[in-house]
Amino acid sequence: MELILQSIVNGLIQGGFFALFAVGLVLIFGVMGVVNFAHGELVMVGAYTVWVLHAQNGVPFIPVVMIAIIVVTAIGLLMERFLFRPTCNDPLAGLICSIGILFILQVLATVVGGDGPSKQVPPPYHGTLVLFDFLHVPYQRVFSFFISAAGLGTLWYFLTRTKFGWALRAVAQDREASALQGININRISMIAIGVGAALAGLAGALMAPLANINPHMGHNVIITAFIVTIVGGVGSLSGAVMAAVIYAMFHTFITVYFGGVIATICGLLLMVVVLIIKPTGIMGVKVSE
Amino acid sequence: MKIIIRLRKIIALIILLAGLIVLPHYLEFHYQDLLIFLIVNVLVVASYRIVTLTGEWSLIHAVMMGVGAYTAALLFKNYNAAMWFTLPLAGGAAALTAALLSFPLFRMTQFYFLIGSFAAGEAIRLTWMQFIFPFGGSGGLSGIEPPIIGSIDFMDPIPYYYLALGVVLICLFILYRIENSKIGMTLHAIHWKAPLAESVGVDTWRYRALAFIIGSFFVGIAGALKIHYLGTITPNQFGIGFMVFILIWVIVGGYKTIYGPLIGVVVLTIFDESVRGFGELRPAIYGGVLIISILFLPLGLESIYPKILTWCGIGSNSSDGPPP
């Protein structure tokens, strides 16, 4: 019983991370129609920024998180301007370009951090929160959870309460119709990828003290993001958040009882099953051609 | 006029073949090795082309190669099967896996198919990683040997090169014939005008599955060919990294004609060798070239040749693009 409750709490916290980078992928795909394969590498860059500035040079944690967000957003904007915009008529070309960026960012990380073993960032917050005498949650995780919840809340506010958010959702629904209404598609694409990349940077920065940092950490991130995106429904942000939490619980439980690789296999199979039974995902709507 | 063009093609083919036959004798050992892998990769991209003819980009092709390779490795390790058995059986196993997977996978199209095939492939690959018996876990299996016939030891690169060249050429010929047969035409039709093809009675699901099965059969053979020479097999050889290379070869080469992918794999392998000195920077250079070629040469290397002809005023301005 205690193990189950502990796993639920761990899964919930994990779900916060998953949601952060998965909604970025959904936003970019929804607005621009590009599968951003380099999304995992954006998370990796966020984690590396924290490693370089916080662990190596002792800059305090919170400003470093801000810097990580800015760095990753800048990379995202450059990708939009110089890669995705020129290839916007061919989704496959955008995908291939993002794979090119993936290689470049991985090599950049190797150059910055060296090959060698995975990097560790000492957690800036020590101690453990104990609830009901048996639930143990390190303060670092509590902090990360609240920040990711705040990030997602801000995104929700932005999308549903601001004009830019409305425009962005309109473009995701129908590109041409929204262009006819006078929405600047290029600017909206910029905003979408900026927000998506910022969330990826935030996820990477928050994850840094809790994960092994290496140039190939993006691989697991992108697999998770794909699973969450598909299970939640392509193009559905609330679906992605829900699927992130569900998948995180699922993954945590199977990892506890059967091990990590089996958990990932089960996750992938879950995704295939969802694709077969309900290709639009749990919260998805039919995507127009 | 037609006969002259045909004759010219045949002569070019003969020169190319002669070149391929004498080539390994002028190369160092390291390059002989590389040549064998290049030949195998030619079969990989050529078989991938059959899958992409219908317009679906699958991300499971590398794993299908792995299915073939693991079949060959397991047959050799457990039953000491000769290569003559393992090659077709490897292809058969990959084709069977593809047939089973086609039921769930081809319920999806486009983006969903891309992701679905990626997921199915990762699940298979992680299974190899998880189970030490019989797949050897992430360390894989080793000690898979090429055959010995009489006094010819295929452990040497040159005899093995001729063996691989023979197998690959036969496979390429079959693939070429398939693409130009009624099946190939139907696949093209499904790519460019799926609703029209359906309306004249083409079962698009069945043809897409067929293309997938044929492509998997040949890439399974390629996997067995590679593993008999390499001697060791690990799940990571068939990961998303290798799949990305297949995509790059096909896209940089161009996927409108049958020659495009072959040009891509040959040119990029030579390019890859020439930047070997850059060490760990190599993937970044590769990524850069990939982006540049997508931005400035979206139709691939194959589109250069007709362009040159048009500039010189010789070639007709024919394109292999979709009919209007």
The string of pLDDT tens digits covering residues A17-61 is 888 888 888 888 888 888 888 888 999 999 898 888 887 887 888
Residue A287: pLDDT band (50, 70, 90) is very low
CB contact under 8 A, A111 and B280: yes
The pLDDT of residue A70 is 93
Which tops the pLDDT comparison, B302 or A102?
A: A102
- B226 to chain A, closest Cα gap in Å: 25
pLDDT at A182 over 80: yes
| CA distance to partner chain B, nearest, from residue A18 (Å) | 17
* Residue B188 to residue B168: CA distance in whole angstroms: 24
Measuring CA to CA, which residue among A209, A207, A85 is closest to residue A225? A207
Q: Which amino acid is at A106?
A: Q
Residues of B in contact with A97 (CB under 8 A): 290-291, 294-295
Q: What's the pLDDT band for A283 if we cut at 50, 70, 90?
A: low
Asked if residues B58 and B216 have their Cβ atoms less than 8 Å apart, the reply is no
> pLDDT band for position B321 (50/70/90)?
very low
How near does any CA of chain B get to the CA of A269, in Å?
Answer: 7
pTM, 2 dp: 0.82
Domain locations in chain A as residue ranges: 13-215
What is the residue whose two structure tokens read 């060296």? A114
* A110:B280 CB<8 A: yes
pLDDT beyond 50 at B272:
yes
Dist. CA A93–CA A228, nearest whole Å: 24
Nearest-by-CA chain B residue for A82: B295
Tell me what pLDDT residue A69 has: 92
Peptide bond into B146 cis (omega under 30): no
B interface test, pick of A84, A97, A268 with most B CB neighbours within 10 Å: A268
Which of A22-36, B100-114, B163-177, B301-315 is predicted with the least confidence, judged by mean pLDDT?
A: B301-315
A211 band by pLDDT with thresholds 50, 70 and 90: confident
Cβ pair B293, B300 in contact under 8 A: yes
Average pLDDT over residues B152-166: 83
Quick one: which of B94, B60, B102 has its CA closest to B204? B102
Cross-chain residue pair B119–A271, CB shorter than 8 Å: yes
Chain B contact present for A219, CB below 8 A: yes
Domain borders along chain B are 27-238
- Rounded to the nearest integer, the mean pLDDT of chain B is 84
Interface check A226 vs B, CB under 8 A: yes
Determine contact, residues B65/B238, Cβ cutoff 8 Å: yes
Torsion of CA B64, B70, B71, B73, to 10 degrees: 150
pLDDT for A224-252, tens place per residue? Answer: 888 888 888 777 778 888 888 888 888 88
What's the pLDDT tens digit per position in B94-137? 999 999 998 888 877 777 788 888 888 988 998 888 888 788 77
Q: Which among A87, A100, A230 has CB closest to B287?
A: A100
Q: What local confidence, expressed as pLDDT, does residue B97 receive?
A: 94
Q: What is the 3-state secondary structure (H, E, C) of A222-280?
A: HHHHHHHHHHHCCCCHHHHHHHHHHHHHHHHHHHHHHCHHHHHHHHHHHHHHHHHHCCC
CA distance A276 to chain B (A): 6
Residue A289's pLDDT is 35
A:B CB pairs within 8 Å: 112
Among A68-77, A144-153, A170-179, B94-103, name the one with the lowest average pLDDT.
A170-179
